[in-house]
Structure 1
Amino acid sequence: MKSIAALCLLAGLAAYIESACIHKNYGRGSTVCVCNQTQCDMLGKIRKQDVGIAASYESSKDGSRFLSTTHEFISQQINLTDAKRTDNIIVIDRQRAYQGIIGFGGAFTDATGINILSLEEPLRTQLLETYFSSHGADYNMGRVPIASCDFSTHEYSYDDEANDFELSHFSLTSEDTMYKIPFIHQAQKLRATEKLLLIASPWSAPAWMKTNSRMSGRGSLKGSPNSTYYKTWANYFVKFLDAYDKQNVSFWGITVQNEPSSGYLPMYPFQCMAMSP
C-alpha cells in the first residue's frame, strides 16, 4: 500500500494589495489601473515567507490587481490507493532540475518611447518604476529591436545606402537616441541590486540586402552563408553592438532573427526576414 506525505494548502490567511489600483473600465471586461502623478499601483517587494507559508498574487477580470494572499501548508498522510481522481497530488523532487528561468522583462521599442515621452514628469519615472524597480514588477530583462520593427512609425535600417558592403554609412537613428537609449539608461538605474539583461533582435536586414528588396513581405537575405551579403549582415550586428556600447549600453544576448518564419508569408505587412534552421 503506497502512501505519500502531502502538503495541503489551507484557505487564504490574509490578503493585501501593496498599493491600491485606481480602476478604469474600458468595457468588455477590460479593467486597467490608472497611473497618475500622485499614485501608480505597485506589486511591492516580494516578501520571503516563513516555513509552511505560501503567497499567491492574483490579477483577475473582476479587477483584482496584484492581490496577495498568504496560505498555510499542513502535512497530511495520503493513501495513494484510496486517493480520488479529483485529488491533486504534487510531488516535488528537489534533486531533479529542469530549465532555469533567467528572468522576465519587456521591450524597448519606438512605440514604448513615444508613449513614455507623451507623459510629464514625474509620471514617466513612476511608470518605469512600476516595471523595473524592486517595489514594482522587478523586470530584470529587456529586448531591444535592431533598427525598426512593427512597433515603429516607419521602416528604417542603420544603413539604407545600397551596396554599402563596408557599411561606411552605418549609423544609429534618432529613434535610438530619443525612444530607446534614454529609457534603457533609466531602467538600468532602477536595477539597484541586479544588472539589467538586454537582448537584441533584428526584424529585417536593410532592403538592399534582401531578395525582395523590401524590409516587409516575403523575402530572405541575399546570397548564401560565407557570401558577401552574409558577411556584411554579420558585420551589421557588430557595428550595432559597438554603437550601443558607446552609449553605455551592453547586451547580455542576441538573436539572429525575430519570428524567422514570418518572412516566408506573402505580403507580410511589416518588417520581417525569412530564415530557416
Structure 2
Amino acid sequence: MSVQPAPVRHVLILGGTTEARRLAERLAADPSVRVTSSLAGRVAEPRLPAGQVRIGGFGGPSGLASWLREQHVDALIDATHPFAGTISRNAAEAAAEVHVPLLALRRPSWVPVPGDRWHPVDSLAEAADALPGLGRRVFLTTGRQGLAAFAHLTDHHFLARSVDAPEAPMPPHTEVLLDRGPFTLDGERAVCREHRIDVLVTKDSGGAATAPKLTAARELGLPVVIVRRPELPRGVPAVPDVPGALAWLASPVRAL
C-alpha cells in the first residue's frame, strides 16, 4: 500500500517589505508549501521575492476574497508596510469572508532614547502643521505619495527622499533625492549636513534599514516629527519577525 504525499499548502504573502521577502525565501525552500507573494506595484523596479509573484491590486476585499477562494489559499500573511492601512483592512475582511487564517507580520515600532527630540503626530497633515515652529529646511522621508500634505508650505525648503520620483502636488521648494535603503549612519549624517537640514519628518516604519536617520538627527540635535503608525484591524494576530510567522504557520491549527 503506497503512502500518499501530504498535500501542498498555499500561503499568500501580501507586501514587498524586507520581512515579506525573507519569509517567502524560507517558505519557498519547503517543498510542502506553495508560496505566492503579492506586490502592490507602486515601485517601478521592486525587489522580487522567491516563489511565485503577482503584481497589482485585487479589486478591494471582495476581489481578494475571490482570489483566496479560487487559488485555494490556506493561510494569508499581511507583511505589508506598517502604513498600508487600506490593504490591511481589505485583508482582514477577505480572510473573514472565506475563513482563511490571517496573520500580520509587523516589525516593531521605533522607540525614542535619551537625546531624541521627537514630536509624534497622527497624520501627515499634522506633521505639516508642526513644521513652522521647528525648522525651515526639512528632510522629508515619508515616501513619494505624501508630499501633497506639505504643498502649502511655501516658506520651507524640502529634501524629499523616495525610491521613485514623486508626482505633483508638492511644495514649491522641493529637491528630490532618489535612493533606496538600507542607509548608513555616515550617509545620513552627510545628507543632513550637506543640505543644512534642521528638522526631520518621517513615519514610524520601524526596522533597521532606515533607522540611521534617527541616530543622525539625535547626534545633530535635530527635532524629528514622527507619524504614528495606524492600528491593525481588530482581532488580527501579529508577530514582529519571520521566526514568529513560521511558528504561527507550523502550529497545529494551520498544519503547514
Question: TM-score under structure 1 normalisation?
Answer: 0.29
Structure ranking higher on relative contact order (CA contacts 8 Å, 6+ apart) = 2
Which is helix-richer, 1 or 2?
2
Question: TM-score under structure 2 normalisation?
Answer: 0.31
Which protein has the larger Cα radius of gyration, Structure 1 or Structure 2? 1
